[in-house]
């Protein structure tokens, strides 16, 4: 049997800009985000469809064979020793999907389901699963039509892949179960498919198993989290820059001659961001001069004497080390994601040598580990951010700012409870940082006796990312109020973000309803406006 692995597309076969092609080069994180979150159109590479047709011939030959072949002529899991007669093998596939669509709980977000569908489509398009081209075309059509199967929160152990979530998608492709259409309406799957001009599939041999046996949900959520964390870690650097300036910190620990002594790339990137953000600040220059023992360390440019400190607190001074470690963790996660997005996950799988091979590639351990690792990094970045927020609010540590940044302390509480909010979230993040991947519960009568819990790791990372966004919003809101109360000459990058924030929410003043202001700043974090505004002022934020 010849090798039908799909090669990269030729120039004339490449899709137009903005279209994500499946079945050529491996998917990237950006491809997943484009389709899952932004609705980018999907194209199936013609060579991939030809490869699928070739491999389907091989599967159909096995279907007519008297010997047992897992997934084709036998039962599943602990029932793998049960032979299925030829006349019932298609029924076997449909029943597999129906029985495995056993999720429960809250509905999973649309972007997660779309990411899962795209990743499963990419595996089908390799040809190594033995699925007919028509099945891949149906999945592509569902993505194009904005038809999103209803998938439930609970049901996957991350091994044999994300069985229950993928089964809910396959069930919808069969015209059963429920979907949400492009207009956000819940409808019976068959009705929605036909309204979009799509025919439900009648599964043939092996196809039910091939549709549910993958790590697609967990790697889809990993890709979405990577995209979010690229933005949030850059935002954390901006927030730290605001805080260093507002708390009269020094930028000397961020100088290249110090940072290069510990050659972690993430640390170097954060330090470079902080140098750029703080360049031109009279407050920081005065503090740096004081730390450096210079004779002219007499003021901050605003008429307030600078206190003499030998060195700043860790939450200011060690921002490059903490944020940088998170950046390096993210880089490792991106490497794992790129490998998983290039993988063919199915069991059994048709190898390049023409063999139907049982395997364990569906085990989610590689993805589960980095999902947990990222949750640890997220918790620590949020923790150091909350400590910077708290410094602004304590009059003994804020270098002359009013208690809690209140307009009239006592009558006004200022941002006291905003810090409570951040502290409560950080406490939750510590719980979310407890690894899911160290757990395992045997299933399927001990046939599947070790599982990854990667889906659970991905679900808690999504919550952790949302929590980090809100903790950073509280720090930015607090730092901007502190900067406004401090006065003096701030750095151009800091001043630009301060103008953005106080153009969105009011600056210092008497107490007012605070929750909408936190949400408004969180929205600036979420849409990338904080980082974009800083970058417009100082150049690229790494």
Q: Which helix (H) or strand (E) holds 186?
A: strand 186-188
Q: Is 521 exposed, middle or buried (0-12, 13-18, 19+ CB in 10 A)?
A: buried
**C-alpha span between 306 and 135 (Å, rounded):** 69
Contact in structure between 286 and 292 (CB atoms under 8 Å): no
Q: Which of 70, 139, 314, 513 is catalytic?
A: 70
Residue that is written with structure tokens 């009279």 in the block: 282
Contact in structure between 437 and 369 (CB atoms under 8 Å): yes
**Alpha helices, H only, 69-109:** 89-100
Closest C-alpha to 120, from 101, 100, 140:
140
With helix as H, strand as E and coil as C, how does 253-314 read?
HHCHHHHCCCCCHHHHHHHHHHHHHHCCCHHHHHHHHHHCCCCCCCCCCCCCCCCCCCCCCH
Contact in structure between 541 and 534 (CB atoms under 8 Å): yes
- Say whether 70 is catalytic: yes
**C-alpha span between 338 and 326 (Å, rounded):** 18
With helix as H, strand as E and coil as C, how does 409-420 read?
ECCECCCHHHHH
Q: Which residues contact 481 (CB under 8 A, 6 or more apart)?
A: 392, 405, 414, 415, 507, 508
**C-alpha span between 66 and 58 (Å, rounded):** 15
CA–centroid distance for 467 within its chain = 13
Q: Which three-class secondary structure state does DSSP give residue 118? A: helix
Written as six digits, the tokens of 131 are: 């699925």
**What are φ and ψ of residue 454, in 5° steps?**
-65, -35
DSSP 3-state percent helix, strand, coil across the chain (nearest 5): 55, 5, 40
**C-alpha span between 249 and 520 (Å, rounded):** 27
Q: Is 466 exposed, middle or buried (0-12, 13-18, 19+ CB in 10 A)?
A: middle
The catalytic residue positions are: 70
């Amino acid at each position: 049997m010849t090798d039908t692995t799909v090669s990269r597309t030729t120039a004339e076969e490449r899709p137009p800009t903005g279209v994500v092609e499946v079945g050529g080069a491996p998917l990237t994180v950006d491809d997943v985000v484009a389709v899952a979150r932004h609705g980018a159109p999907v194209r199936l590479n013609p060579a991939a469809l030809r490869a699928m047709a070739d491999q389907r011939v091989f599967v159909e030959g096995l279907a007519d064979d008297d010997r047992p072949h897992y997934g084709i002529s036998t039962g599943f899991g602990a029932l793998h020793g049960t032979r299925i007669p030829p006349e019932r093998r298609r029924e076997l596939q449909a029943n597999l999907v129906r029985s495995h669509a056993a999720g429960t709980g809250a509905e999973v977000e649309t972007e997660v389901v779309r990411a899962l569908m795209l990743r499963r489509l990419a595996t089908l398009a390799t040809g190594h699963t033995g699925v007919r081209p028509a099945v891949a075309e149906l999945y592509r059509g569902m993505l194009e039509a904005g038809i999103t199967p209803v998938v439930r929160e609970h049901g996957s152990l991350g091994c044999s892949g994300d069985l229950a979530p993928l089964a809910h998608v396959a069930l919808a492709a069969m015209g059963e179960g429920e979907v949400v259409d492009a207009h956000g309406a819940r409808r019976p799957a068959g009705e929605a498919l036909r309204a979009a001009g799509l025919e439900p599939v009648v599964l043939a041999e092996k196809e039910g198993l091939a549709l549910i046996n993958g790590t697609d949900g967990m790697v889809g959520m990993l890709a979405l989290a990577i995209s979010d964390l690229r933005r949030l870690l850059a935002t954390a650097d901006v927030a730290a820059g605001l805080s260093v300036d507002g708390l009269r910190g020094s930028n000397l620990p961020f100088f290249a001659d110090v940072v290069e002594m510990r050659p972690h790339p993430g640390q170097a990137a954060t330090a470079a961001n902080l140098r750029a953000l703080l360049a031109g600040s009279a407050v920081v220059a005065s503090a740096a001069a004081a730390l450096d023992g210079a004779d002219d360390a007499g003021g901050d440019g605003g008429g307030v004497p600078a206190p003499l400190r030998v060195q700043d607190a860790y939450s200011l001074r060690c921002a490059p080390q903490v944020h940088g470690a998170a950046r390096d963790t993210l880089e490792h996660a991106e490497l794992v994601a790129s490998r998983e997005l290039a993988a063919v996950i199915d069991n059994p799988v048709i190898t390049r040598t023409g063999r139907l091979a049982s395997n364990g590639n569906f085990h989610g351990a590689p993805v589960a580990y980095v999902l947990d690792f990222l949750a640890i990094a997220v918790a620590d970045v949020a923790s150091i951010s909350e400590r910077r927020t708290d410094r602004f609010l304590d009059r003994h540590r804020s270098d002359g700012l009013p208690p809690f940044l209140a307009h009239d302390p006592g009558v006004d509480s200022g941002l006291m409870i905003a810090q409570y909010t951040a502290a409560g979230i950080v406490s939750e993040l510590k719980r979310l940082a407890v690894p899911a991947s160290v757990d395992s519960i045997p299933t399927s009568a001990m046939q599947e006796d070790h599982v990854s819990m990667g889906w659970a790791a991905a679900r808690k990372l999504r919550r952790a990312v949302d929590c980090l966004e809100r903790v950073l919003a509280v720090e930015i809101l607090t730092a901007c109020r502190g900067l406004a109360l401090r006065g003096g000459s701030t750095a151009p990058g800091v001043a630009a973000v301060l103008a953005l924030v106080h153009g969105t929410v009011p600056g210092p003043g008497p107490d007012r309803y605070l929750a909408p202001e936190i949400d408004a700043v969180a929205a600036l974090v979420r849409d990338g406006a904080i980082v974009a505004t800083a970058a417009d002022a100082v150049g690229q934020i790494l």
